[in-house]
Chains A and B, each alone.
Chain A
Amino acid sequence: EAGVAQSPRYKIIEKRQSVAFWCNPISGHATLYWYQQILGQGPKLLIQFQNNGVVDDSQLPKDRFSAERLKGVDSTLKIQPAKLEDSAVYLCASSLEAGGNQPQHFGDGTRLSIL
């Protein structure tokens, strides 16, 4: 089966600019996750969707980050305006369901650098 697809692979922008990331999960996976991974740290959950509904966005900085999952398939994550501290790898993952024993399948991520 095809894996989780993300684009772009790399992005460099200046602070205060905006940026968007795209994710296409594995076909049939109901649950989609966006994580932020800062160098040397573990992935931090930003938002979790179950189909096209938000399950958890408690750690999403809502003043600058937004995400949507239209039609319960693809998803986009946007940052506007970007800050230096947003430099990180943004990982998208998907799983069949949200149940505890369901492994999360990760994409290769988008490496974001803020100048």
Chain B
Amino acid sequence: GQSLEQPSEVTAVEGAIVQINCTYQTSGFYGLSWYQQHDGGAPTFLSYNALDGLEETGRFSSFLSRSDSYGYLLLQELQMKDSASYFCAVREGTGGFKTIFGAGTRLFVKA
């Protein structure tokens, strides 16, 4: 079956670095995405990894290891506005590029 696991909560201080891990089990894996969602808001796309390695976009980086079915989102120079939920999402190819979201990690950034 399909499953994604990520920590339910992470707390960090402003200016620090935090890593949110995601492990997945799925068939027909195509890639791993990350989305950010503030309370009451819409999910917004952060990054996508189809190949092994690190992708960097400003303060955010995302990593994928296909052999380990593992990825992570790295947030640097944390700001208060980064307090939100972060979802990893697997794109799988069985039945037409279906997207499966994890349960989300709630990040609390403290001053």
Contacts between the two chains (Cβ within 8 Å), count: 63
* Closest chain A CB from B103 CB (angstroms): 5
Given contacts A42-B87, A91-B43, contact A104 B99 (CB under 8 A): yes
| From B44, B93, B103, contact of A41 by CB (8 A) | B103
Chain A contact residues, CB within 8 Å of chain B: 4, 33, 35, 40-45, 48, 50, 55-56, 58, 91, 93, 98-101, 103-109
Q: How far is the CA of A111 from the CA of B95 in the complex (A)?
A: 29
Total contacting residues, chain B, CB less than 8 A: 24
Cβ-closest chain B residue relative to A93: B43
Do A91 and B95 touch across chains, with their CB atoms under 8 A apart? no
B positions within 8 Å CB-CB of A: 30-31, 33, 41-45, 48, 50, 87, 89, 91, 93, 95-104
Determine the distance from Cα of A100 to Cα of B87 in the docked complex, in whole angstroms.
16
Q: Which B residues are in CB contact (< 8 Å) with A33? A: 99
* Contacting residue for B98 out of A41, A43, A45, CB 8 A: A45
User: A residues within 8 A CB of B42?
Assistant: 4, 91, 106-109
Q: Cα distance A40–B43 when bound, in Å?
A: 13
Contacts of B48 in A (CB 8 A): 100-101, 103
B41's partner among A35, A103, A108 (CB-CB below 8 A) is A108
A53 to B48, CA, bound (A): 26
**Interface residues of A, dominant DSSP:** loop
User: When the two chains form their complex, are residues B97 and A100 in contact, meaning their CB atoms are under 8 A apart?
Assistant: yes
Q: How far is the CA of A4 from the CA of B44 in the complex (A)?
A: 12
A108 / chain B contacts, CB cutoff of 8 Å: 41-42
CB-defined A-B contacts under 8 Å, sample of 14: A42-B102, A42-B103, A42-B104, A43-B43, A48-B98, A55-B98, A58-B95, A58-B98, A99-B97, A100-B30, A100-B48, A100-B97, A106-B43, A108-B42
A62 to chain B, nearest CB (A): 16
Residues of A within 8 A of B41 (CB): 108
Smallest CB–CB gap between A103 and chain B, Å? 4
Contacts of B33 in A (CB 8 A): 103
Contacts of A43 in B (CB 8 A): 43, 87, 101
